[in-house]
Amino acid sequence: MRDINKIAAVLPKAEVRDGALVIQASEAVEVLAAVKALGGFALFDITCVDRPAGTPPASAEGAVPAYPACFELAWRIWDLSEGSKDILTIRSFIDHDRAEAPSVMAVWKSADMLEREVWDLMGIRFTGRPHLERVLNRADFEGHPLRKDFVMPKRDRFPPASWDKKAAEGGQ
Amino acid sequence: MELNHNDPSAPGHGSKEPTTLIKGPLHDGIEAVLDFCRGNSLWPVTFGLACCAIEMMSAGGARYDLSRFGYEVFRPSPRQADLMIVAGTVTDKMAPLLKTIYDQMPEPKYVLAMGGCAICGGPFTDSYSVVQGVDTIVPVDVYVPGCPPRPEALIDGILKIRAMLRHPELREVRFNA
Amino acid sequence: MGDNLDGANLNSDGFETQEFILNLGPQHPSTHGVYRARLIMDGETVVSAENKVGYLHRGMEKMAEGLTFSQFTPYTSRFDYCAGALQPWAYVIALEKLGGIVVPERAEYIRVITGELNRISSHLLMVASMVLDFSAITAWTYAFNAREGVLDLLEAVTGSRLLMHYMVNGGVWADLPEGWVPKAEAELDRIIARLDDFDMLVSGNEIFLGRTKGIAPINSEEAIEFGLTGANLRASGRGLDLRRDSPYSVYDRFDFEVPVLHNGDCWDRYYIRIMETRESIKIVRQALKQLPGGDWRAKVAKVWKPAAGEAYTMIEAARGVQAYHVVSDGTAKPYRVHMRSPSFCNIGVIPEKAPGLTLQDFISFIASLDFVLGDIDR
């Protein structure tokens, strides 16, 4: 793994926090393009976590400061240089009300599918790219299922009505 | 005998019964012979949805050899098939397509729900996008439980359809074997 | 486009053709499940292709939030159901990282043995279904015969043929059965013989070569750009294998090659699976020889609560590099589980490479990419 501090030194807009680069989401394209220019990096994955308000869990590497309620969007970049196959994490924290991030499709083409997945399941709108449509769920699906405030759609068949009757009678 | 569909006095007109030229014991006899033949050469439509489809392929392979019973002719087109093996999880996105494929199959047609997912949603029954049993969409003749069922179980399920064809009264009885 | 108002144009043979839309799948014998490609065709030639997936989206990542950590382990097998024993590996490594669990050495060896056997069965399934797409039913039965031998071994250990819920948090579910090791060694010989049969029957076949050689070549830069991993990447000339380059478990103790091919066409993507199968057999043999005694499962509490935190782990799965992002908030249930699916990223290359292929070449192309819909749709 290349030294993360050295990578951060050439990226003026990134700071190092518990083993990951933390950036403003709006600067993602700029930062990722700079990382790509270093050579030997490839976009591996985009992960997103719906963080509640309050203290978030400490990361495996150490304690992190408190965040407000946010989406934690992370670009996982694969370091393919000699002797290293580790992951460089570039994090950004996005407001719940304005769930938007710029698309990095122009930097790495593999972002296409990954961004559509995050949009479908988490509802982060990636701007500046074509075909941002649902990839896994139906086109008429309502909501974004991996958000914590997602309400499960009602199922009319299961459990069957007879079960409710049993429960009303006090049985198991 | 020529059949005139516009003639109200013609046999079968206005009734919900299918129009057949022959009725009575002869018709039943012919149907019994045809059912006997159908039972020995059901043509399944290739409809692999998920994990169970791999076991369905294994059943067709050399070891389990589905063709011993005459069921190996997997048809890619539903219009040439009379058995739909629903092998895998049916999702909300897939459900309308499954119904379309079922509707495209010619009568008489049979449905075999293979695996827990096709029977009731299986382990994914709590999910937001999984149909809780294929029998909410199409009528199912035989259920084969398992996750996934072994190829032997699938063959046994198809043989149950054969038994049902040979002995129509079995439709009313729940299989215990 | 020609000057015809209907959008018709003249092709090189002077025939008037018109573009039309062809929906390949989701119910199609050559799409390996419920994959759908929306193709715009000009006669036999693909003009543009679009991936339409999600017909098997079962919402497992959401379901994980309602289950405990260990309850979700069997579900991970259902992601890539062609390699069910290999699937929970990255997930259980993530759990062990979160909980600081030390896995006994014997368990690591058993994981390698079952994992590699499962990789063999998965690769055999891939080559079998690929030749089945070319209507080579005979060759298909050869590969399936070899696969049954592997499944017998796996069934004796795990109790299941397809979706083995075998790797668990802290080790494996049960020890190897008595007398299994010599049986496995004998069976491996038979598997190699069957594989040789298949190789001889298919790899140099004139028709097979005609349908795969030089079709849809992907070079290594493109492969990296589109996030291809695993055998598809190695067929494009980039020898990248986590088992060797960043060894997890006990992979650093085995001597094996990472096969690399350089053309990146359909034939290379097919043949690299055959080569990898042979390497996997080598690994299994060495692991069987080195197999230590001792415990096969660390002691893990029934109600297990890891410390709050997150883990991002990756392994070399059968279809490429698979990664799990597991976030814990200190309770018995995961806060978030995300799976980086190799198949999902691999199909991203289809819209780029499909234009210009004929329809039958497109079938070869998607067959050679070896995706599994459970892995794509989750």
Mean pLDDT rounded to a whole number for chain C: 86
- C226-245 average pLDDT score: 87
Calpha distance C116→C110 (Å, rounded): 10
Least confident residue range of A150-159, B31-40, B93-102: A150-159
pLDDT over 50 at C368, yes or no: yes
- In this complex, which of A137, A152, A158 lies closest to B132 when CB atoms are compared? A158
Backbone angles phi, psi at C168, to 5 degrees: -125, 170
DSSP state of B35: H
pLDDT over 60 at B175, yes or no: no
Write the single-letter amino acid at C107.
A
pLDDT over 70 at C53, yes or no: yes
The domains of chain C are located at: 9-52, 60-375
Cβ–Cβ below 8 Å for C374 and B53:
no
pLDDT over 50 at C269, yes or no: yes
Tokens of C328: 């814990």
- Residue B131: per-residue pLDDT: 84
Residue A1 vs residue C343, higher pLDDT = C343
Residue B12 vs residue B28, higher pLDDT = B28
- Residue C271: per-residue pLDDT: 92
A152 touching B, CB under 8 A? yes
Calpha distance C153→C121 (Å, rounded): 11
H-state helical runs in B41-87: 51-60
Closest CA in chain A for residue C316: A85
pLDDT over 80 at B7, yes or no: no
Q: What pLDDT band is residue B171 in, cutting at 50, 70 and 90?
A: low
Helix (H) or strand (E) holding C369: helix C359-369
Task: State the smallest CA–CA distance between residue B124 and chain C in angstroms.
Answer: 7
- Residue A158: per-residue pLDDT: 45
pLDDT over 70 at A128, yes or no: yes
Mean pLDDT rounded to a whole number for chain B: 80
- Residue B53: per-residue pLDDT: 87
- B130-150 average pLDDT score: 87
The order of strands in the sheet holding C320-328 is: C309-317, C320-328, C334-340
Calpha distance B11→B135 (Å, rounded): 35
- C44-53 average pLDDT score: 88
* C-beta neighbour count of C21 within 10 angstroms: 10
- B30-48 average pLDDT score: 84
* pTM: predicted TM-score of the whole model, two decimal places: 0.86
Calpha distance C144→C122 (Å, rounded): 11
- C108-122 average pLDDT score: 91
Least confident residue range of A144-158, C113-127, C292-306: A144-158
pLDDT over 60 at A165, yes or no: no
- Residue A20: per-residue pLDDT: 80
3-state secondary structure of A21: strand
- Residue A61: per-residue pLDDT: 47
Of A83-97, B91-105, C106-120, C132-146, the range with the highest mean pLDDT is C106-120
Q: Which residues pair with C52 in a beta bridge?
A: C36
* C-beta neighbour count of C208 within 10 angstroms: 21
Pairing of strands C167-168, C45-52: unpaired
Cβ–Cβ below 8 Å for A157 and B92:
no
Mean pLDDT rounded to a whole number for chain A: 77
- C4-21 average pLDDT score: 67
pLDDT tens digits, B94-133: 888 888 888 888 888 889 999 888 888 888 888 888 888 8
Calpha distance C1→C12 (Å, rounded): 13
Calpha distance C126→C311 (Å, rounded): 31
Cβ–Cβ below 8 Å for B121 and A158:
yes
Cβ–Cβ below 8 Å for B128 and A158:
no
- In this complex, which of B47, B53, B128 lies closest to C59 when CB atoms are compared? B128
Helix (H) or strand (E) holding A87: strand A87-95
- A59-75 average pLDDT score: 66
Is A78:A109 a contact under the CB 8 Å cutoff? no
Q: What pLDDT band is residue C280 in, cutting at 50, 70 and 90?
A: very high
Task: State the smallest CA–CA distance between residue A160 and chain C in angstroms.
Answer: 21
Closest CA to A68 of A47, A95, A38, A42: A95
pLDDT over 70 at A7, yes or no: yes
Calpha distance C45→C356 (Å, rounded): 6
H-state helical runs in A24-138: 28-38, 111-122
* B136 contact residues in A (CB cutoff 8 A): 157
Cβ–Cβ below 8 Å for A44 and C227:
yes
Helix (H) or strand (E) holding A125: strand A125-127
Closest CA to B87 of B120, B49, B119, B144: B49
Residue C141 vs residue B167, higher pLDDT = C141
- Residue C138: per-residue pLDDT: 87
C36 touching B, CB under 8 A? no
Give the CATH class of C60-375. mainly alpha
Task: State the smallest CA–CA distance between residue B136 and chain A in angstroms.
Answer: 8
- A35-56 average pLDDT score: 80
pLDDT over 70 at A106, yes or no: yes
Write the single-letter amino acid at C338.
H
Is C95:B88 a contact under the CB 8 Å cutoff? no
* B128 contact residues in A (CB cutoff 8 A): 145, 150, 152-153
Q: What pLDDT band is residue C168 in, cutting at 50, 70 and 90?
A: confident
**ipTM value of the model?**
0.84
- Residue C6: per-residue pLDDT: 54
Task: State the smallest CA–CA distance between residue C189 and chain A in angstroms.
Answer: 34
Report CA-CA distances (Å) from C52 to B50, C38, C79, C263, C295: 16, 7, 18, 28, 46
- Residue A1: per-residue pLDDT: 63
pLDDT tens digits, A8-43: 777 777 777 777 888 888 888 888 888 888 878 888
- Residue C274: per-residue pLDDT: 92
The domains of chain A are located at: 4-54+67-168
Closest CA in chain A for residue C62: A146
pLDDT tens digits, C342-365: 999 888 889 988 898 898 899 889
CATH number of A4-54+67-168: 3.30.460.80
- In this complex, which of A50, A137, A146 lies closest to C57 when CB atoms are compared? A137
- Residue indicated by tokens 């407001």: A95
Chain A residues within 8 angstroms (CB to CB) of chain C: 42-45, 47-50, 57-60, 76, 80, 84-87, 89, 108-110, 112-114, 117, 121, 134-138, 145-146, 150
